[in-house]
Amino acid sequence: MAYYAIAPILCALVQNELYMHLYINQVYAGQSTNQLVVITSSQPQGFGITVINDWPITDGANTVGRAQGLHFQSGQTSEKWHRMPHAL
């Protein structure tokens, strides 16, 4: 059988907060597009359209990651997008 003791904390906890602004650069048309429609649809509201993407995530100046994955139109009566992410 194990016995446990609880000791008081002798120093105050220090909490620091960090605020970061990150940006995703989505380019859906033009020369440097970073997403592509791979399945089109003739359904109302574009139901079933599937798009793949590779968006850079920046802190304003430097690329700090990438948002890669696919998203598709899942609403039949209104525009609803569902995203399946894979972030690096």
Q: What are the pLDDT digits (tens) for 69-84?
A: 998 998 888 888 888 8
Strands 63-73 and 35-39: unpaired
Task: Output the pTM of the full model.
Answer: 0.65
Q: What are the pLDDT digits (tens) for 20-62?
A: 899 999 998 999 999 999 999 998 888 999 999 999 999 989 9
